[in-house]
Structure 1
Amino acid sequence: MTPTRPVPAPVPARIPAPTPAPVVERPAHRDPNVLRWLGGYTSSAIGDNVYYLALSWAAVQAGTPAQAGFVTAASAVPRALLMLGGGVVADRYGPRRVVVSSTAVRCLLVLTAAVLLLATSPGLWTLGCVAVLFGIVDAVFLPAAGALPARITGRGQLARVQGMRGLAVRLANVLGGPLGGLGIALGGTAGAFGLAALLIGVSLPVLATVRTGQPPPDDTRTRHDTKGRPSALAELRDGLRHIRRDPVLRVLVVFAALSDLGFVGPMNLGLTLLAAQRGWGSAGMGLVLAGFGVGAGAASLLLAWRGRVPYAGRVTAVATLAGAVAIDALARVPSVAAAACVALLIGLLAGLAGALTGALLQARAGSAYVGRVTSVSTLVGFGVAPLTFPAVGWAVAAWGAGPVFTVCAAVSALGGVLALCSRALRHAELPG
């Protein structure tokens, strides 16, 4: 009998591994978590505007206009000195926790000022102390508030969230003045402080419900304190090294600093002095500010609606350069109507460049470093630039608004040139 050859067992067909379904991010404007953050942020921002109006009004009533200027600028000093440390605090304890805690302290501080105004007539020193304490808390609050959007939404929604944040800032600017004036009219300066405390306090329970994602573990080797945790100084150095090593971040930080230095002076104190020199009056200055607000609001609305802008790095640089030209032109136009049109263009370009800069910074920083990166990038705008107001006022008085606006525009344009010369930033894109 011929032996039969064994029949090999059939080889089972290999089943391909299932392809993971792509993660679809929920659009930020339809995300209840983001909308809760937006509501809390807006209420807090309106309260800030009412607070600053009440502080300046109380300072004017207690002293000379120059003294009032020093009181209102006093909060910028601790912000400039402590904001880098605030970024470390935001990354160490989480931006949500820091935002909620510092908001509670800010509310309590403004409420204390209202009680002092009801009980006594505080002098300039007392108001200055309130401003300094508010600036200390701001040095912790601002980096955490800037870092929080990166923890509540997907990377592809960062530009949209920045647009929504810009809309909140514009709304706060529009409503803060009238509400502060109403508070002063109905309850005096104490009433305005009380209203500011109420608005900031309303944001507390809303912000407390915001959910945040967890950052990835930080495996960077840094010096540790006695509890086995990196020391604050080591974390700060680590954050600065992180910025220096990233080809986009290191240019973006310098770009943001130059842009803020060239923008804040002329578009705040400089615009007031320009209106006084041209005889536009408060109505004319209000029209110019309204033009700027409309332009900035339109840019924020565009980003909130579109969600993503292609060639983000290039658009940011070009918008900054065009905005610098418009800043220089603002001091040379002959009429209020023309100045309002130029201010609208400035608002559109600055709003677009600012929102894209914030989105690019958060996209490149990584969630473990976003607080420290935010503190470094906003240090000049919130801390250093306001301290230049006395120099801007002196220069306008000595040489007129035209040369001062030109110099400031050149500083801002230098940031745009730097961005265009950086190949990494020029080709930077937002995550889709």
Structure 2
Amino acid sequence: MEIACPVRQSARSSPFVTADARSHTKSSGTSATEPSAPLPVHRDGNVLRWLSAYAASMVGDSVYFLALGWAAAQVAGPAQVGVVMAVGAVPRALLMLGGGVVADRFGPRKVVIGSDAVRSLLILAAAAALWLATPGLWLLVALALLFGVVDALFMPAVGALPTRITSRGELMRLLGFKAFVDRMGRLAGPPTAGFALGVGGPEAAFAAAGVLFALSLALLIAVRIAPVLPDDAVAEGAQRTSAWRELRDGLGYVRRHPVVGPLVVSGAISQIGITPPLTVGIVLLGEERGWSPAGVGLILGAMALGAGISTLGLAVAGRFPRAGLWATVTLAVASVAIGAIGLLPTVAGAAAVALLAGLVSGICGGLSSTLIQANTEPGYLGRVSSVMAFTAVGLTPLFFPVGGWAAGVWGAQPVFVVGGAVSMAAALLPLAARAVWRAELPDKR
């Protein structure tokens, strides 16, 4: 299939016509190709319900993972705890791309509501089992596996929803708020889990996670999702093929698209370079330099703070000219900054550079994700989202042992330098794609 998806799409082909705009055009006699001006996301009750559902889900995720580790520690040794915590990643990695096919074939709303319902039931059932008895390690392993399977469906479907709940011009603002809510939700998760564990142990923490997932489900059911336009019927699956064929078609779409393809590949390579230094490398660097755990936490906290500030800034601004060019430039700056963390001798210096890295990486991530969503045809959003999620949960963790091995042989400093260089190569990749560095965000309508 010939792919022709310019950055500035016409209103006729836009997937960003909201349900409210459609109902307005019917009542006023205006053509559906000329939607009325939509509400800003911070004033749109439908969008706010979706963001609230997403926040509840993120906090629930954090509570669940901490409760799972705590419960495993009570019935098994450290090695078995590691197995329980890691086993859920296997189905996520193996099934994530298939989850994108399911989201595109059946619609992201159905998939995200169904998977959220199953998550809630699973965790509440685990809470009941722990309250009634003392199950063995097998229950926790089974729970982790099943939760990983459901997550492989949930994550691509969530990634396919933003373009159907807001207008084109509000997309960057929505994704900025989504990124900010994601970070705040993950910060709120550990204290919530700690309180629940202190009050009633793992069963109370599982119950809290299940209630949060149920709250997310109730809010999602109330969210209105815009239907696709007739022009998108073929891409949406009017001509059904096998699931395997749809998966190959989705991967081919990413490979051939002049904007989506380079940005997805660049993001994947960048994560491979950046994530090992910031997970394994930072701990080993702290040991080499004699930094306290609090110092290491300060460095990571500074980067998270910077990213939170910049994503919130994107959400407030709503517009960013020359988005493709600046996404590339900010990734290059972030790559240099992360490489420099390994060269600095003091915690204060490393934290300052980490703050800068967070600020520019938040801008890069927000612009890249908005450009990818804005240039993906509606019928491919689930599969494109699944490719991005697969990189984060399936591909990147494979490089953690490589980073640890390299730090053990050559020290932690080269891990940061090499990781920054790999990420810099990812930043240079879009420069070879003219469509990327000339890409603009959708106009406000």
The answer to whether the superposition gives a TM-score over 0.5 is yes
Provide structure 2 residue ranges, at least 5 long, that are not aligned to the other structure: 1-29
One-letter code of the match for 2:314?
L
Q: Deviations over 1:137-171 (max 9, x none)?
A: 11110001111111101111111111000111111
- Separation (CA, whole Å) in 2 of partners of 1:272 and 1:210: 42
Name the counterpart of 2:424. 413
One-letter code of the match for 1:107?
S
CA contact (8 A) 1:46 1:175 kept: yes
The 1:301–1:119 alpha-carbon spacing in structure 2 relative to 1, beyond 3 Å, is same
Alignment of 1:154-173 (within 5 A): 154-173=167-186
Shift, 1:367, TM fit: 1.4
- Separation (CA, whole Å) in 2 of partners of 1:398 and 1:389: 14
Report the more deviating stretch, 22-31 or 147-156.
22-31
SS at match of 1:34: helix
Name the counterpart of 2:122. 109
One-letter code of the match for 1:292?
M
- Separation (CA, whole Å) in 2 of partners of 1:229 and 1:21: 30
Q: Which has the larger radius of gyration?
A: 1
Provide structure 1 residue ranges, at least 5 long, that are not aligned to the other structure: 1-17
Name the counterpart of 2:131. 118
CA contact (8 A) 1:299 1:351 kept: yes
Identity among equivalent pairs (%)? 49
- Separation (CA, whole Å) in 2 of partners of 1:65 and 1:350: 34
- Separation (CA, whole Å) in 1 of partners of 2:304 and 2:104: 32
- Separation (CA, whole Å) in 2 of partners of 1:345 and 1:221: 41
Matched, 1:402 2:394: no
- Separation (CA, whole Å) in 1 of partners of 2:320 and 2:399: 33
Name the counterpart of 1:139. 152
Report the more deviating stretch, 156-165 or 68-77.
68-77
Name the counterpart of 1:263. 274
Q: Deviations over 1:260-282 (max 9, x none)?
A: 21222222333333334433333
Name the counterpart of 1:8. none
The normalised TM-score by structure 2 is: 0.86
Shift, 1:24, TM fit: 2.0
SS at match of 1:368: helix
Q: Which residue, 376, 386, 394 being the options, matches 1:383?
A: 394
CA contact (8 A) 2:105 2:236 kept: no
- Separation (CA, whole Å) in 2 of partners of 1:284 and 1:366: 45
Name the counterpart of 1:318. 329
- Separation (CA, whole Å) in 1 of partners of 2:233 and 2:158: 25
Name the counterpart of 2:6. none
The 1:69–1:340 alpha-carbon spacing in structure 2 relative to 1, beyond 3 Å, is farther
Name the counterpart of 1:51. 64
Report the more deviating stretch, 309-318 or 287-296.
287-296
Name the counterpart of 1:9. none
Name the counterpart of 1:252. 263
The 1:152–1:411 alpha-carbon spacing in structure 2 relative to 1, beyond 3 Å, is same
CA contact (8 A) 2:99 2:154 kept: yes
CA contact (8 A) 2:250 2:380 kept: yes
- Separation (CA, whole Å) in 2 of partners of 1:163 and 1:221: 27
One-letter code of the match for 1:112?
A
Q: Deviations over 1:323-354 (max 9, x none)?
A: 11111112222222222222212221222111
CA RMSD of aligned residues (A): 2.3
Q: Deviations over 1:76-108 (max 9, x none)?
A: 221121111111111112111111111111112
Q: Deviations over 1:164-202 (max 9, x none)?
A: 001111111221111111111111122222211111111
Q: Deviations over 1:188-241 (max 9, x none)?
A: 1222222111111111111111011112344549999xxx73322222222223
Count of residues in Structure 1 that have an aligned counterpart in Structure 2: 412
- Separation (CA, whole Å) in 2 of partners of 1:363 and 1:223: 20
